[in-house]
């Protein structure tokens, strides 16, 4: 599968976005100023001695054995904290009474209260005075209007009698633009929970759901069978420069479409066009032969029976042996070189090496594009079979012809002073040679796509069929796969521009 496909990038991006969003929502809830919040939690509710009613036992000595009505004494520790995002002042409490909050201990009687504050919050204790409403009666404890900065807290240790441990303990009161709410019950050493139980559950569910969705999308086969998969056999002929693209596309199509067999047999654009025409003329069955011919450039005008399909924009390049240090030539100098007027690289400011022209044979579409787009004429006659020895003593330069792009690149890489041409993506990865700019325009697919380059050595790659093949044939299905289906990814991976894209449509038009 293609891990960097658009669908996978979107899926993983969605997962990351979901996680960030869920974290951001709760960060906003907790940190961005919005509401005032006082939380309280009972950190301890223990009997002092033998509390048979609660089922909890202990040992006691001294006062609790001697004082009246203390046989069922209990100790309660309450933590009261500002767990909102804003500080709380005295005027923020809504109580109509002098005090701010009221703690109610169901079925128990308060016998005494002790207040503690953190060592770094010594400004809290002065508020706990009777003049500010601090006091108790029966089962009710009055708590003053204590100002609390964000994160500050104080604790109340309450001695009670009567009633069982575990009975309801409530904190009553309110805040302007805020709330008073119970927190999770915890031990004295526990920190305030970052999220509520509901918040944690929602976050976990959202994260798991999004990650599951992303895993399913990424792990599944993101190359579903093309619409209209067809069985049978197909022969792809023509351009050797475009043959690697068609071979990769054929392999993927065969994997996705059971019962299909596609053979890529490339021998040059001109030979492919000619073979397709001959196959169609000899075809005796209904329809058209199962042959697809790829061509670097348009067919001859005298073949109306061949049906044209524009597939991609292909960029080509002149390549030169690395011993020739030049990186840019004018088209005028290139034309002079291929007329035989320039025989040594020193005439162009290069090294003292004879020019050797390594060309393609007459069937090559790459050669035809070079002659049509750059030279504006044909090349001079062939003068060597082995690209080393001059068979024609009267020839100004050595010029040889080879059958394929790979042969040209191999010969240029090992022969000093050699120059040739090839499809850009293949040439760029070859060793022992480098590409040449033309008129200071580098061979660049990206620059051509952006519309900022007038680089001339480029051409449309055409796919030809003999007539219009039926919709249910392998030729029709595979052609649609290459032009409009997942074959576009193959075209792009080889450094070409699919004609079906908005940019490609402009360039191929």
Which residues make Cβ contacts (< 8 Å) with residue 6, sequence separation at least 6?
Answer: none
What CA–CA distance (Å, rounded) separates 191 from 60?
A: 30
C-beta separation of 451 from 310 below 8 A:
no
To 10 degrees, the CA torsion angle through 458, 463, 467, 472?
A: -150
Q: What is the pLDDT of residues 304-347, one digit of tens each?
A: 999 999 999 999 999 999 999 999 999 999 999 999 999 999 99
Residue that the structure tokens 């009997």 belong to:
47
Look at residue 31 and tell me whether its pLDDT is greater than 60: no
pLDDT for residue 2: 45
Average pLDDT over all residues of the chain: 87
Q: What is the pLDDT of residues 267-293, one digit of tens each?
A: 899 999 999 999 999 998 888 999 999
At 346 the three-state DSSP class reads: helix
pLDDT for residue 264: 96
Look at residue 8 and tell me whether its pLDDT is greater than 90: no
Least confident of 48-52, 113-117, 505-509: 48-52
pLDDT for residue 26: 62
Which helix (H) or strand (E) element contains residue 213? helix 197-219
Look at residue 372 and tell me whether its pLDDT is greater than 80: yes
What CA–CA distance (Å, rounded) separates 442 from 454?
A: 9
Which residues make Cβ contacts (< 8 Å) with residue 487, sequence separation at least 6?
Answer: 249, 252, 253, 481
Provide the CA 308 distance to its chain's centre, in angstroms.
Answer: 36
pLDDT tier at 189, thresholds 50, 70, 90: very low
At 210 the three-state DSSP class reads: helix
Q: What is the pLDDT of residues 158-186, one digit of tens each?
A: 999 888 888 899 999 999 989 999 987 55
pLDDT tier at 196, thresholds 50, 70, 90: low
Nearest to 315 by CA among 374, 237, 403: 374
At 179 the three-state DSSP class reads: strand
What CA–CA distance (Å, rounded) separates 309 from 238?
A: 14
**Which region holds residue 25: left if phi is over 0, alpha if psi is between -120 and 50, else beta?**
alpha
Q: Which two tokens mark 400?
A: 């040889």
pLDDT tier at 489, thresholds 50, 70, 90: very high
Helices (H) and strands (E) in the chain, counts: 13, 20
Strand partners, 88: 148
pLDDT for residue 1: 41
pLDDT for residue 34: 52
**Between residues 373 and 50, the one the model is more confident about:** 373
At 312 the three-state DSSP class reads: strand
**What phi, psi does 38 have (nearest 5°)?**
-115, 125
pLDDT tier at 50, thresholds 50, 70, 90: low
pLDDT tier at 463, thresholds 50, 70, 90: very high
Nearest to 45 by CA among 116, 115, 108, 118: 108
**What phi, psi does 215 have (nearest 5°)?**
-65, -40
Question: Going by DSSP bridges, is the β-strand pair 433-438/260-266 parallel, antiparallel, or unpaired?
Answer: unpaired
Question: Going by DSSP bridges, is the β-strand pair 291-296/306-321 parallel, antiparallel, or unpaired?
Answer: unpaired
* Count of C-beta atoms within a 10 Å radius of residue 331: 16
Which residues make Cβ contacts (< 8 Å) with residue 51, sequence separation at least 6?
Answer: 57, 58, 72, 74, 164, 165
**Between residues 392 and 14, the one the model is more confident about:** 392
pLDDT for residue 33: 47
pLDDT tier at 76, thresholds 50, 70, 90: very high
At 235 the three-state DSSP class reads: strand
What CA–CA distance (Å, rounded) separates 125 from 483?
A: 79
Least confident of 78-87, 347-356, 451-460: 78-87
Q: Identify the top-confidence range among 79-83, 345-349, 499-503.
A: 345-349
Angle in degrees, CA 327, 358, 313, rounded to 5: 65
Look at residue 458 and tell me whether its pLDDT is greater than 80: yes
pLDDT for residue 19: 74
pLDDT for residue 298: 92
Which helix (H) or strand (E) element contains residue 148? none
pLDDT for residue 25: 64
C-beta separation of 243 from 266 below 8 A:
yes
Q: Identify the top-confidence range among 48-57, 120-129, 351-360, 491-500.
A: 351-360
pLDDT tier at 225, thresholds 50, 70, 90: very low
What CA–CA distance (Å, rounded) separates 348 from 344?
A: 8
Look at residue 217 and tell me whether its pLDDT is greater than 90: no
pLDDT for residue 61: 63
pLDDT for residue 466: 95
What CA–CA distance (Å, rounded) separates 174 from 29?
A: 20
What CA–CA distance (Å, rounded) separates 98 from 214?
A: 57
Mean predicted confidence (pLDDT) in 441-457: 94
């Amino acid at each position: 599968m293609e891990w960097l496909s658009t669908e996978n990038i979107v899926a993983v991006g969605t997962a990351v976005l979901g996680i960030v969003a869920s974290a951001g929502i709760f960060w906003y809830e907790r940190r961005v100023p919005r509401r005032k919040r006082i939380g309280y939690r009972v950190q301890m509710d223990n009997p002092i001695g033998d509390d048979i009613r609660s089922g909890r036992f202990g040992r006691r000595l001294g006062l609790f054995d001697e004082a009246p009505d203390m046989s069922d004494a209990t100790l309660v520790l309450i933590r009261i904290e500002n767990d909102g995002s804003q500080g709380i002042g005295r005027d923020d409490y809504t109580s109509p009474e002098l005090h701010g909050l009221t703690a109610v201990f169901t079925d128990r009687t308060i016998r005494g209260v002790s207040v503690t504050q953190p060592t770094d919050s010594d400004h809290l204790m002065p508020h706990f005075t009777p003049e500010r409403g601090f006091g108790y009666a029966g089962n009710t404890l009055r708590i003053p209007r204590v100002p609390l900065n964000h994160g500050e807290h104080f604790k109340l240790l309450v001695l009670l009698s009567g009633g069982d441990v575990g009975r309801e303990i409530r904190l009553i009161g309110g805040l302007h633009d805020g709330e008073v709410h119970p927190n999770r019950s915890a031990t004295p050493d526990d920190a305030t929970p970052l999220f509520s139980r509901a918040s944690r559950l929602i976050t976990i569910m959202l994260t798991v759901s999004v990650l599951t969705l992303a895993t399913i999308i990424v792990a599944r086969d993101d190359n579903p069978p093309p619409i209209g998969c067809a069985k049978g056999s197909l022969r792809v002929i023509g351009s050797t420069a475009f043959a690697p693209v068609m071979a990769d596309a054929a392999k993927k199509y065969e994997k996705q479409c059971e019962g299909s067999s596609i053979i890529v047999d490339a021998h040059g654009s001109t030979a492919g066009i000619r073979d397709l025409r001959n196959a169609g003329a000899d075809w005796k069955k209904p329809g058209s032969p199962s042959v697809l011919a790829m061509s670097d450039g348009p067919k001859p005008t005298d073949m109306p029976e061949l049906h044209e399909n524009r597939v991609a924009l292909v960029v080509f390049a002149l390549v030169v042996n690395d011993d020739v240090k030049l990186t840019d030539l004018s088209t005028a100098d290139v034309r002079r070189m291929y007329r035989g007027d320039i025989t040594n690289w020193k005439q162009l400011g290069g090294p003292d090496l004879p020019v050797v022209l390594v060309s393609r044979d007459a069937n090559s579409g790459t050669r035809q594009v070079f002659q049509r787009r750059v030279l504006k004429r044909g090349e001079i006659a062939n003068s060597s079979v082995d690209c080393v020895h001059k068979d024609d003593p009267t020839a100004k330069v050595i010029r040889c012809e080879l059958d394929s792009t790979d042969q040209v690149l191999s010969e240029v890489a090992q022969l000093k002073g050699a120059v040739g041409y090839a499809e850009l993506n293949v040439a760029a990865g070859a060793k022992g040679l480098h590409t040449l700019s033309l008129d200071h325009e580098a061979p660049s697919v990206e620059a051509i796509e952006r519309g900022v380059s007038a680089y001339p050595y480029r051409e449309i790659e055409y796919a030809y069929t003999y007539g219009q093949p039926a919709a249910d044939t392998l030729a029709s299905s595979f052609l649609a796969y290459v032009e409009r289906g997942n074959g576009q990814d193959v075209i792009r991976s080889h450094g070409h521009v699919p004609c079906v894209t908005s940019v490609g449509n402009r360039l191929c038009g």
